[in-house]
Amino acid sequence: MNQIDLKGRRAAVTGGAQGIGRAVVERFLDSGAEVAIWDFDRALAEKTAAELSAHGKVWAVPVDVTDWAAVEAAAAETAGDRTIDILVNNAGIAGKNATVADYPVEEWRRVIDLDLTGVFHGCKAVVPYMEKAGYGRIVNVASIAGKEGNPNAAAYSAAKAGVIALTKALGKELADKKIAVNCVTPAAARTAIFDQMTEEFIAYMLSKIPRGRFVEVEEVAAMIAWIASEDNSFTTGAVFDLSGGRATY
């Protein structure tokens, strides 16, 4: 593993109890950061924190990212008498696979609320701490679906496209400060989110990846670790692809 220096940094990772989020937490710990796992599932977050405790200082902060007041409180708890140097907005769901004509309105709202509004909440809560400290790194986890649009996944695609635009807008707002805001657009990783998808849709996603395989969560974590580091001192408002060759722009 290539070494990334995050020593002395305090990070928050939403959806950090499993999947890509857990891989990011572990990579951050191994890079010297201390990490707060922000997750809706308290029991799983505490279990993950206990399992990774040998890697460094890590703790669970139960939070529903769709609840602004809860996110604001989680940020205050995490910052404590210091700050939050790094935020990774990773929490998300796939939602149902259905055509737009057949897509349930409430399901659309559920996906947008978690996958897009949840990212907005995280950024809104943490940016004031970073501005006060004069330093920060925000990494938003979008998706290749946000660039290309996946059929039968309009809500997810639209939410992730929104995350890309939010990243670009916030990156410009903070460009005159030592705060970098970037996003990653991975192809699908074989995590628990696959449980929400049909086998037909999973096969469709795989067929679109020139590498011929799904991305590994550790590969996503490796890229995020560098983006979240002090070395990433110039790039902001950018989109980093992990699409296995699928991305066309």
Which residues are known to be catalytic?
A: 156
pLDDT in tens, 185-212: 998 877 766 776 778 888 888 888 899 8
- Residue 176 in any domain: the answer is yes
The residues pairing with 82 across neighbouring beta strands, listed in sequence order, are none
- Residue 193 in any domain: the answer is no
Q: How many domains, the chain?
A: 1
Mean pLDDT of 36-42: 98
Please give the pLDDT value at position 143.
95
- Residue 96 in any domain: the answer is yes
User: Residue 127: which domain range?
Assistant: 10-187+217-232
pLDDT in tens, 116-134: 999 999 999 999 999 999 9
Residue 21 vs residues 12, 16, 47, 88: alpha-carbon distances, Å: 10, 4, 14, 8
In sequence order, the 6+-apart residues with CB closer than 8 A to the CB of 227 are 137, 139, 180, 182, 184, 235, 240
Q: What is the CB neighbour count within 10 angstroms for residue 129?
A: 20
- CA max distance for the chain: 50
- Residue 155 in any domain: the answer is yes
Please give the pLDDT value at position 215.
87
- Hunting for tokens 């201390």 — which residue is that? 34
- Residue 199 in any domain: the answer is no
- Residue 207 in any domain: the answer is no
Q: Which of 8-17, 31-40, 195-204 has the lowest mean pLDDT?
A: 195-204
Strands in 179-186's sheet, in edge-to-edge order, are: 58-62, 34-39, 10-14, 86-89, 136-141, 179-186, 239-242
Q: Give percent above pLDDT 90 in the chain.
A: 85
Helices (H), 38-182: 42-52, 68-79, 105-112, 118-133, 145-148, 154-173
Q: What is the CATH number of the domain that holds 115?
A: 3.40.50.720
Q: Which amino acid makes up residue 26?
A: E
- Residue 238 in any domain: the answer is no
Q: Which of 5-9, 23-27, 76-80, 210-214 has the lowest mean pLDDT?
A: 210-214
- Residue 154 in any domain: the answer is yes
Mean pLDDT of 37-56: 98
Contact 121, 136 (CB under 8 A): no
pTM of the model: 0.94
